[in-house]
Amino acid sequence: MQAIYLRALGCKVFTANDGLGALEQASVLSPDVIVMDMQMPPFDACEALRRLNELSGTRKIPVIALTEDPNTRLEAFEAGCTVCLMKPCPPQVVWAQICALFRLPDSKASRSAQG
């Protein structure tokens, strides 16, 4: 759902089916931001966050973590995420957070200009 919404706004979006794929894509593509579900296989998302922060090519990429479990939030921050949002999280909230991270124009204005 997040990917569909961000694509509709004109963002280039790449998805991965698991944590290892996400790490590989982030290393190769150097995205501006990573939106990560904390419940991804094959290893825990906190491990993926730690690995992203260990690699020089990915350590400065902001990561927006999404979780259903309030107890996971602290772990996500300790592992290195920039922002942690609770699921269910409307895609508009993720976009607003991306706008805030990069000081983009107001997310409502951006949506209406592209709609």
Q: Spell out the domains of the chain, with CATH numbers in brackets.
A: 2-114 (3.40.50.2300)
Task: Give per-residue pLDDT as tens, 18-54.
Answer: 888 888 899 999 999 999 998 876 667 888 899 999 9
- Quote the tokens at residue 101: 């991270």
pLDDT at position 23, please?
87
Q: What is the pTM of this model?
A: 0.84
Task: Give per-residue pLDDT as tens, 83-97.
Answer: 999 999 999 999 999
- Quote the tokens at residue 63: 């990561």
Give the residue from 19, 14, 17 showing the smallest Cα distance to 30.
Answer: 14
The continuous run of DSSP H or E covering 66 comes out as strand 63-67
- Quote the mean pLDDT of the chain: 86
pLDDT at position 76, please?
92
Q: How far apart are CA 20 and CA 46, in angstroms?
A: 12
Do 39 and 22 form a contact (C-beta atoms < 8 A)?
A: no
Q: 35 forms bridges with which residues in the sheet?
A: 64
Q: How far apart are CA 64 and CA 84, in angstroms?
A: 6
